[in-house]
Amino acid sequence: MVVAPVASAAAPGPGAEGMTGTRPWNAVDPGAREPVIELADVRKVYASGSLEVAALRGIDLRVEQGAYLAVMGPSGSGKSTLMNILGCLDTPSSGIYRLAGEDVSTLGEDQLAHIRNRRIGFVFQQFHLLAGLSAWRNVELPLVYAGVGKAERRERALAALDRVGLADRAEHRPAELSGGQQQRVAVARAVVTEPAMLLADEPTGNLDSASTDDVLGLLEELSGAGSTIILITHELDVAERTGTTVHIRDGLIDGETVVRG
Tens digits of per-residue pLDDT, 105-125?
989 999 999 999 989 999 998
**E-strand spans in the chain?**
3-5, 35-48, 51-64, 68-72, 94-99, 102-103, 120-123, 197-201, 229-232, 245-249, 252-253, 257-259
Confidence of residue 77 (pLDDT cuts 50, 70, 90): very high
Residue 257 has what pLDDT?
Answer: 67
In CATH, what is the architecture of 67-91+108-248?
3-Layer(aba) Sandwich (3.40)
Q: Which of 235, 156, 165 is nearest to 203 (CA)?
A: 235
Domain ranges of the chain: 67-91+108-248
Residue 49 has what pLDDT?
Answer: 83
